[in-house]
Amino acid sequence: MKHNAYLIPWDKKSLKVNQTEILILGSGIAGLYASLKLKGEYQVTIITKSRITESNTEHAQGGIAVALNVDDSPGVHIEDTLKAGAGLCNIEAVKIMAEKGPECVRDLINLGTEFDRVNNELDFTREAAHSKNRVLHALGDATGGEIERALVEVVQKSSGIRVEENTFVIDLLREADQSIAGALVYNEDNKKMEAWLAKAVVLATGGIGQLYKYTTNPEVATGDGLAAAYRAGAELMDMEFVQFHPTALLLPGAPSFLISEAARGEGAKLVNHQGERFMENISGKELAPRDVVARAIWSQMKTGQVYLDFTFASIQRLEERFPKISKTCLQYGIDITKTPVPIGPAAHYMMGGIKVNNGGETNLPNLYACGECACSGLHGANRLASNSLLDGLVFSAVIAGTIKKKKLTMPTWAEIINFPASQEGIQDTIKETKGPPQLKSEIREIMWEKVGIIRHEEGLREAAQTLEHYSHHFFPELRVEEMELANMLELSLLIAEAALHRHESRGGHFRSDYPLAREDWRKHCVQKKGDRNISYESI
């Protein structure tokens, strides 16, 4: 793979050039809400890889955590978030999320989001590591889909927002002073590369779940925004911290469908192949932090299948609360009211990402990031359940506020750094021995087995060496699957290297050879292109 700012050779003379004042990449909760907060004052364009509704937001089940219940407060929400984050949270970012959260969620409701209610009052439930019932849900277990529906409807009716679907972000366009000036994209409808110039670029491109063999994330979650930002010179932070959801459907031939944490919040029990509960003697039991539950399940799976048992509940309650889970399991012959559901952990969420300050700014002028692709240290080493939707919501609003205080200028096409084609090294390609589908499968297997739930030095070193070899010898062509693969390679190597260098266990990062957390490792890992040495920043 080419080790410079751009993934694919291109020439300024041959590209169609579009302009917009604000370019938002991604159409999940963060991208959509940012567009609504910026419209009116700016001409806004949303670019999205697939359809506007396809994102991790759409697939979020459990809900959105917010301190709106009568016995709750932002202060208690802050405490719970810090506790789950295992000593690595950015306290100021946590305060911003918890304190601005109620206002932003009320705005979501005003925009048409219909959360579940009981006697016309909002219905709050509890998930792992929350001390209060603070998780709002919609349509039982389809919260993300309902939020996405409401936001998409408002966006599509807004005259000041343009949406470009089926458009893949290849790279960020740069000026000579490292300022970000827009994006280089591949329009799948006309099969052509295009340029978008913008006064500011907001990355809201989501996570990296597809780097792993088992994931709850949709197929679009290949980390394209993170990889493009990294190539452009943006710093990435805490890439070793990947959250594995403890309970995903585990059946031959079935996708790794998420079984929401809310199920355990409602009382569903984890049992091993002998029908025994194995969380009984662990603090928090089924509602312990996700990393604890995932490792306990992983350990039990060495001797047999693990199950989530819903059969305690009334059929009516299950149908009301988990219609999506019930329907999906039934497609595979499992009636959750009668039969325990076979489950296993799956890659779910990236706590790390593009390093941003509390205003959503990156180290590159005119580039902002929010949602799962961003990392301010908000989630620390382990995200608290249902804080992800609130993160995307709050910090997209924060970014809108940051941008409105700036004096923005439109870049000129003449100032953009060009990248003409070069034949140097092109023949040195791994595609002669491995096709892209085989290589993708191998990357996902390596990440699952060696950079997954339980890690150790030998496996991490082997993974890094293999991934680095592939990365140096893979040259993507102008096809989405190959560009995705290049991004997956780049990010997989960064995660493996970050995990190799963190000599402790904390939150989502567990090393069997360094099983304890260490005070001298209460620091953030920072990686930047062109610098092979990982740097660290103290909390």
Structure confidence by residue, pLDDT tens digits, 260-302: 888 888 889 999 999 999 999 999 999 888 889 999 999 999 9
Please say if the pLDDT value at position 150 is more than 60: yes
CA distance 373 to 487: 13
What pLDDT does 21 receive?
A: 98
CA distance 266 to 277: 16
- CB 293 within 8 Å of CB 279: yes
Please say if the pLDDT value at position 4 is more than 70: no
Mean pLDDT of the region 15-20: 97
What pLDDT does 148 receive?
A: 94
Active site annotation includes 522: no
What pLDDT does 316 receive?
A: 76
Q: Spot the catalytic one: 231, 264, 290, 321.
A: 290
**Could you give phi then psi for residue 47, rounded to 5 degrees?**
-110, 130
What pLDDT does 2 receive?
A: 47
Q: List CB contacts of 501: < 8 A, sequence separation 6 or more.
A: 525, 534
Mean pLDDT of the region 94-105: 98
CA distance 30 to 392: 4
CA distance 281 to 258: 25
Mean pLDDT of the region 354-368: 98
CA distance 203 to 408: 17
Mean pLDDT of the region 388-399: 98
Mean pLDDT of the region 247-258: 88
Mean pLDDT of the region 83-105: 97
Which two tokens mark 202?
């907001």
- CB 131 within 8 Å of CB 69: no
Mean pLDDT of the region 394-412: 97
- CB 350 within 8 Å of CB 242: yes
The DSSP letter of residue 519 is G
For 242-348, the fitting CATH number among 3.10.20.600, 3.30.230.10, 3.50.50.100, 3.90.700.10 is 3.90.700.10
Portion of the chain with pLDDT greater than 90, in percent: 79
For residue range 409-451, what is the model confidence (pLDDT) as tens digits?
A: 999 999 998 876 654 545 557 877 888 999 999 999 999 999 9
Range 12-241+351-413: architecture per CATH:
3-Layer(bba) Sandwich (3.50)
Domain range list for the chain: 12-241+351-413, 242-348
What pLDDT does 54 receive?
A: 77
Q: What does pLDDT average to over the chain? A: 93
Using pLDDT thresholds of 50, 70 and 90, give the confidence band for residue 175: very high
The model's pTM is 0.95
Q: Which residues of 267-295 are buried (b: 16+ CB within 10 A; e: fewer)?
A: ebbbbbeeeeebbeeeeebbbbbbbbbbb
Return left, alpha or beta for 99; rule: phi > 0 is left, psi -120 to 50 is alpha, else beta: alpha
Mean pLDDT of the region 339-344: 95
CA distance 223 to 492: 10
What pLDDT does 1 receive?
A: 46
Mean pLDDT of the region 469-485: 93
CA distance 78 to 96: 9
**Distance of alpha carbon 143 from the chain centroid:** 17
